[in-house]
Amino acid sequence: MFGGAGKKPKKDESLSSVMSPENAPTRSGGSSVTGFDPEGLERAAKAARELDASRNAASAIELVKTQEATKQHEAAAKRAEMDAYSQQLRQQNIQAEAEEARKTLEAQTQHDKHRSEYKDELERKRQVDMLNAQKYMQDEQLKKQEEMVERQEAMRRKTAEIEADLRTKTELAKTRAEAEGRIRQERENHDLIMDKVRLEAAENRNTVLKAVSDGGKMLGEGLSSY
Q: What is the pLDDT of residues 112-127, one digit of tens each?
A: 888 889 999 999 999 9
| Contact criterion met (CB below 8 Å) for 56 and 17 | no
Q: Which of 1-10, 61-70, 88-97, 108-117 has the lowest mean pLDDT?
A: 1-10
Q: Which of 45-49, 101-105, 120-124, 202-206 has the lowest mean pLDDT?
A: 45-49
Q: ∠ CA(66), CA(69), CA(71), 5° rounding?
A: 110
14 burial type by CB count under 10 A (0-12 exposed, 13-18 middle, 19+ buried): middle
Higher pLDDT, 183 or 61: 183
Q: Which of 46-60, 74-88, 105-119, 128-142 has the lowest mean pLDDT?
A: 46-60
Mean pLDDT in residue range 61-65? 75
Q: What is the pLDDT of residues 148-174, one digit of tens each?
A: 999 999 999 998 988 888 888 888 888
Beta strands in the chain, from DSSP E residues, in sequence order: none
Other CB atoms closer than 10 Å to residue 225's CB: what's the count?
A: 6
Mean pLDDT in residue range 51-63? 62
pLDDT at residue number 142:
92
d(CA 126, CA 2): 91
Higher pLDDT, 160 or 181: 160
Higher pLDDT, 112 or 60: 112
Task: State if pTM tops 0.75.
Answer: no
- String of DSSP letters for 36-63: --HHHHHHHHHHHHHTTT-S-HHHHHHH
Q: Which of 30, 31, 32, 44 is nearest to 1 (CA)?
A: 44
Mean pLDDT in residue range 38-42? 70
Mean pLDDT in residue range 85-96? 88
| Contact criterion met (CB below 8 Å) for 10 and 22 | no
